[in-house]
Structure 1
């Protein structure tokens, strides 16, 4: 699954034994390839003959979340609830409901979040109950515990309990989950050593979650202005996972935050070549703008604004303003 209660790109984790991994639904590869039109066509075809097919219903909620339109979230909730009603023992149906309600909570603010927290938590817990190896659901529940206040069911105590439970399923997965807690508690050195120590050579899925963990650590270091340490983490990411955009984007951001625009550009370009997204285009446009490359900056800001999923509101507003200023200056 792709969108949790908080940032699902935070700490995700998976068992080392590939034969024990929860299987992705049949549309997962197309979604990862960003062939969204093909997914929608395939899902519609499937639902025309099997209206309650769980894989198709889960994929449709994912498409709505990827689209990012707040106006369609209620529709996504109904689809997830339909998935559960007709497939009550399907783990991903419950996870899907938690993902959608979590997104609604984030978009709606504090009061909205409070009204959904019970269902969000219970959806992820049910998903884990039905499939102990649904580590995406475990990750989302972990983030819930770390982000939600104690009076609505959050807290590090429950996060620690979840780690203990996860270690019984997979020590490697538990190690990455522990790194998530260490990062939350600002025990940076332990988070770094724990995340780096996990052997991911036997599992691409586990490697994916290690990439996400290290990326979050790197961005936290940037936020703390610890640029040398951040460069070390992102350099490690680039070396270990040259086919992933995360290390290159992170390195570009780290250099950009230090004012090294010329050095940042090739990293953003490499990130976009691997896996384009609105944020990478936005940061590349800002770099071109600082370097005085107005034409390139205009073209790249336009790509950032036209990309789906779209930029966050603050970045989108800034991109629109910078684009206006650039066009006026030519």
Structure 2
């Protein structure tokens, strides 16, 4: 989920969320009869609350619908989404999503999200659990494209799985290229990204970089494509290019929290431009990241790395510890803090 995925919210937000939880429990006890009186209407109401990010108001309605009918696949699906968006709990999310696909196997989006969640869990899993979770990713993505052949994200996920998984776990360069060709045929823009990943895998870095530039040229206003190129630069230690790219994004879009974080991450990985990296991460720590942004635990961790590489050990220790206060299960912060002592 690699820290390019969302994590936790700031303490102030967490406090407000806790208050909402308490209030929602009280409200639920008063309104459960109303919730159960019209399942269809209340499902629509809960979905609307979810889409408005009112997760703690939506949660008891979905739960009441499941209490009435445990086979309500959509309610299970949305509780899985809430476990991710509000709780940052992939393990709990997978429990809800497994029920969703059990009770309705025909929904591609259910299978795709379950596959994504297995992937998140696999990143931090033990060597004993990771293979099973990886196989779960493959199974769910295959079912997704079986149900929806034009589901490009699932095809892209399959391509990456085949490229990165060992052969004993189902990895296959040949199958990865099949998915890349399917993506090109069905979506030429995403085909540029797929080609870039294949070239990168083949160590054809100039061709890979060219495809990322083609991707950006296809839609200059899509900042995601610029980030893909930035991640490519980070992964291949072209740090000056990464700094410049993310700085340009931030200059054009000062509201872009991702750019702040990625400038800091580039400094954390490289040890370069430590003042700039630290400044950006400190700004990020004063923000309230959205569900698609890296969490504040990761921001503290990256800031600690910047200080660590700069020889500011006491400051590094403070921020590794802060990461663990937010997320006691942050494996990388635990390991880094242990090395400092």
Q: TM-score, normalised by structure 1?
A: 0.70
Decide whether aligned partners of structure 1 residues 40 and 76 sit closer, same or farther in structure 2, where only a CA change above 3 A counts.
Answer: same
Matching residue of 1:227? 239
Q: Give the Cα separation in 2 of the matches to 1:54 and 1:8.
A: 29
Q: 1:149 Cα shift?
A: 1.7
1:301-321 Cα shifts (integer Å, max 9, x gaps): 55422325x663132343477
Matching residue of 1:15? none
Matching residue of 1:210? 225
Q: Residues 44-193 of structure 1: matches in 2 within 5 Å?
A: 44-48=63-67, 51-64=70-83, 67=87, 73=91, 76-193=93-210
Query: Do the aligned residues in 1 keep the contact of 2:320 with 2:336 (CA within 8 Å)?
Result: no
Matching residue of 1:279? 298
1:183-217 Cα shifts (integer Å, max 9, x gaps): 3333333323322322588798xx36425523421
Match of 1:255 among 267, 271, 274: 267
- Which of the pair has more CA radius of gyration? 2
Q: Identify unmatched segments of 5+ residues in structure 2.
A: 6-46, 290-294
Q: Secondary structure at the match of 2:129?
A: helix
Query: Do the aligned residues in 1 keep the contact of 2:324 with 2:330 (CA within 8 Å)?
Result: no
Matching residue of 1:312? 330
Decide whether aligned partners of structure 1 residues 83 and 255 sit closer, same or farther in structure 2, where only a CA change above 3 A counts.
Answer: closer
1:269 matches 2:282: yes
Q: 1:165 Cα shift?
A: 0.8
Q: Identify unmatched segments of 5+ residues in structure 1.
A: 10-24, 326-330
Q: 1:162 Cα shift?
A: 0.7
Decide whether aligned partners of structure 1 residues 203 and 136 sit closer, same or farther in structure 2, where only a CA change above 3 A counts.
Answer: farther
1:151-203 Cα shifts (integer Å, max 9, x gaps): 33212221111111112221111112222223333333332332232258879
Q: Give the Cα separation in 2 of the matches to 1:60 and 1:200.
A: 38
Q: Give the Cα separation in 1 of the matches to 2:57 and 2:338.
A: 31
Q: Give the Cα separation in 2 of the matches to 1:113 and 1:298.
A: 30
Q: 1:38 Cα shift?
A: 5.0
Q: Give the Cα separation in 2 of the matches to 1:99 and 1:62.
A: 11
Query: Do the aligned residues in 2 keep the contact of 1:54 with 1:90 (CA within 8 Å)?
Result: no
CA RMSD of aligned residues (A): 3.8
Q: Secondary structure at the match of 1:186?
A: coil
Decide whether aligned partners of structure 1 residues 119 and 279 sit closer, same or farther in structure 2, where only a CA change above 3 A counts.
Answer: closer
1:48-80 Cα shifts (integer Å, max 9, x gaps): 4564444432343345457566xx83x554433
Q: 1:254 Cα shift?
A: 2.9
How many matched pairs? 291
Q: Give the Cα separation in 2 of the matches to 1:78 and 1:235.
A: 40
